[in-house]
């Protein structure tokens, strides 16, 4: 399983250890729990002159989920793995909802108000100066992805001796996809030839046959409009299909091949022209993330998605986000992932500053407490409650929802437990904007 991080009395990272060693140190009173997620212990006695092995943190940025792995380049051992689930689309939906509610409220409350000053400029044929955004500006939904990765790189640097970073800079080499004959790159005529296009198409067509929707088979790259009848090698004319459908279609026109299935025909022709939304989000944030990682002062290695897939398939590893992150870059050694359990991290944000909640029409319907902390706890803390008397005798561990009365709610895997007194609660981990699972 994943190793346990260790820091000394001065909070300096040491070599990570096996979980059995950590349990022994805790049992003997030589260490204490410093942090639960990621699990870290702090030694109570100093250990001077202990050699520490350098580690590399590897990042596979994604639109929805980002994979992170800490790898020992010398031994190939994966020390730690995690998958971060971003809330970018939730942010976009929240901003859109807020905009609609505000527009509706302005229309209800100030229907006959004087037009804004910009309208007077337009009537006088004078355009106001456009609002300029600062250089490097990112939309909030995109910026949150970069900030999540930055946060976890900084956290992991505090508990592990990380001395290098690897980042998958581009999911797909779009220049190579558009022009397969481009020169100047080593891998084009080598073992990586064709990986970029194939990976892009697999992602675009959801890893299933475009004609029969079969999954988990060997796919072939298929021309939607066949080459024999003037079809091009453009990425918008390519799809993936199983061998059976590819042979059955042959050089037929796609309209003739799918004349009995007009719904699928329309879907294929429409999807062929679309770009990947997720790939667009990753491509938009990639340079901002690279700049952020370089600001740490550590050497940063970059690689493409095709190279990541090549490294993974060469070692016959399963496809998951954290495995992909461990395979990023040319520095990838022979990996040892035996027993590694990734930490599943979900970004939830830090709540809201609204002083009331609204219904679906935008009208206020309930009050929000302005006090964040109650009896030393706040909503979102992970707590352990040992109830010794009453109807709810037992032990509960989960997320806390506070009340000013001191009667809290705890949500865990079993469900919601209501009416737990603050006197029985002990903080396991303070709210940090993320939730965790294995």
Which structural domain range is residue 225 located in?
Answer: 185-277
Question: Mean pLDDT lowest for which of 5-19, 129-143, 227-241, 283-297?
Answer: 129-143
Q: What is the pTM of this model?
A: 0.74
Question: Which pLDDT score is estimated for 119?
Answer: 53
SS3 395: strand
Residue 190's pLDDT is 44
- DSSP SS3 for 378: strand
User: Which carries the bigger pLDDT value, residue 124 or residue 293?
Assistant: 293
What's the mean per-residue pLDDT of the chain? 84
Could you report the per-residue pLDDT of 62-115, keeping only the tens digit for each? 888 999 999 999 999 999 999 999 998 888 888 888 888 788 878 888 777 665
Q: Which of 104-118, 208-222, 280-294, 350-364 has the lowest mean pLDDT?
A: 104-118
Residue 413 — φ and ψ, nearest 5°?
A: -65, -30
One domain, residues 62 and 166? yes
CATH code for the domain in which residue 258 is found: 1.10.30
Q: Are residues 155 and 23 in the same domain?
A: no
> Does residue 327 lie in a domain region?
yes
Q: Is residue 123 part of a domain?
A: no
Q: Give, for 262, the enclosing helix (H) or strand (E).
A: helix 262-273
Cα within 13 Å of Cα(45), Cβ side? 6
Per the model's pLDDT, the better-predicted residue between 433 and 196 turns out to be: 433
Q: What is the pLDDT of residues 8-40, one digit of tens each?
A: 999 999 999 999 999 999 999 999 999 888 999
Query: Quick one: pLDDT at residue 103?
Result: 81
Contact indicator for 409, 418 with CB cutoff of 8 Å = yes
Rounded to 5 degrees, what are φ and ψ at 208? -145, 160
Do 32 and 147 fall within a single domain?
Answer: no
Q: Would residue 196 count as lying in a domain?
A: yes
- Judge if 239 and 386 occupy the same domain: no
Q: What was the pLDDT predicted at 234?
A: 77
In this structure, the answer to whether residues 168 and 303 fall within a common structural domain is yes
Q: In the prediction, which pLDDT does 184 show?
A: 44
Residue 342 binned pLDDT confidence (cut-offs 50, 70, 90): very high
Percent of all residues in the chain with a pLDDT value above 70, rounded to a whole number = 88
Residue 50 lies in a domain: no
The tally of domains found in the chain comes to 4
Does residue 214 belong to any structural domain of this protein? Answer: yes
Same domain membership, residue 283 and residue 267: no
For residue 329, is it left (φ>0), alpha (ψ between -120 and 50) or beta? Answer: left
Residues 238, 161 within the same domain: no
Same domain, 261 and 410: no
């Amino acid at each position: 399983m994943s190793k346990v991080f260790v820091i000394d009395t001065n909070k300096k990272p040491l070599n990570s250890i096996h979980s059995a060693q950590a349990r022994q140190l805790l049992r003997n009173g030589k260490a204490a729990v410093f942090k639960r997620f990621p699990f870290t212990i702090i030694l109570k006695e100093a250990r001077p002159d202990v050699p520490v092995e350098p580690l590399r943190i590897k990042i596979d940025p994604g639109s929805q989920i980002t994979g992170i792995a800490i790898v020992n380049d010398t031994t190939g051992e994966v020390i730690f793995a995690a998958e971060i689930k971003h809330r970018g689309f939730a942010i976009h939906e929240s901003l859109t909802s807020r905009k609609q509610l505000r527009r509706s409220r302005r229309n209800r409350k100030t229907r006959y108000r004087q037009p804004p000053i910009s309208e007077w400029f337009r009537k006088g044929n004078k355009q106001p100066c456009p609002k300029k955004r600062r250089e490097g500006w990112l939309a909030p939904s995109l910026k949150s992805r970069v900030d999540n990765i930055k946060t976890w790189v900084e956290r992991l640097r505090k508990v592990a001796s990380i001395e290098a970073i690897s980042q998958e800079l581009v999911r797909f080499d779009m220049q190579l996809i558009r022009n397969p004959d481009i020169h100047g790159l080593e891998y084009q005529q080598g073992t990586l030839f064709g990986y970029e296009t194939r990976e892009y198409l697999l992602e675009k067509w959801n890893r299933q046959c475009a004609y029969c929707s079969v999954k988990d088979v060997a796919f072939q790259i298929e021309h939607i409009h066949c080459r024999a009848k003037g079809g091009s090698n453009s990425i918008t004319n390519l799809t993936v299909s199983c061998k059976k459908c590819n042979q059955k279609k042959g050089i037929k026109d796609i309209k003739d091949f799918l004349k009995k299935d007009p719904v699928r025909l329309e879907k294929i022709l429409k999807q062929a022209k679309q770009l990947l939304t997720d790939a667009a989000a990753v491509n938009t944030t990639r340079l901002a993330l690279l700049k952020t990682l370089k600001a740490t002062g550590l050497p940063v290695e970059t690689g493409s998605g095709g190279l990541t897939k090549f490294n993974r398939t060469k070692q016959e590893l399963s496809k998951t986000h954290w495995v992909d992150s461990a395979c990023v870059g040319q520095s990838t050694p022979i990996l040892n992932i035996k027993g590694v359990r990734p930490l599943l991290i979900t970004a939830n944000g830090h709540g809201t500053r609204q002083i009331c909640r609204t219904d679906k029409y935008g009208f206020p319907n309930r009050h929000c407490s302005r006090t964040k902390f109650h009896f030393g706890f706040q909503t979102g803390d992970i707590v352990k409650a040992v109830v010794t008397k009453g109807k709810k005798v037992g032990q509960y561990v989960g997320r806390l929802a506070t009340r000013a009365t001191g009667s809290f709610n705890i949500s865990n895997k079993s469900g919601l437990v209501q009416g737990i007194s603050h006197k029985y609660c002990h903080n396991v981990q303070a709210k940090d904007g993320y939730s965790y699972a294995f």
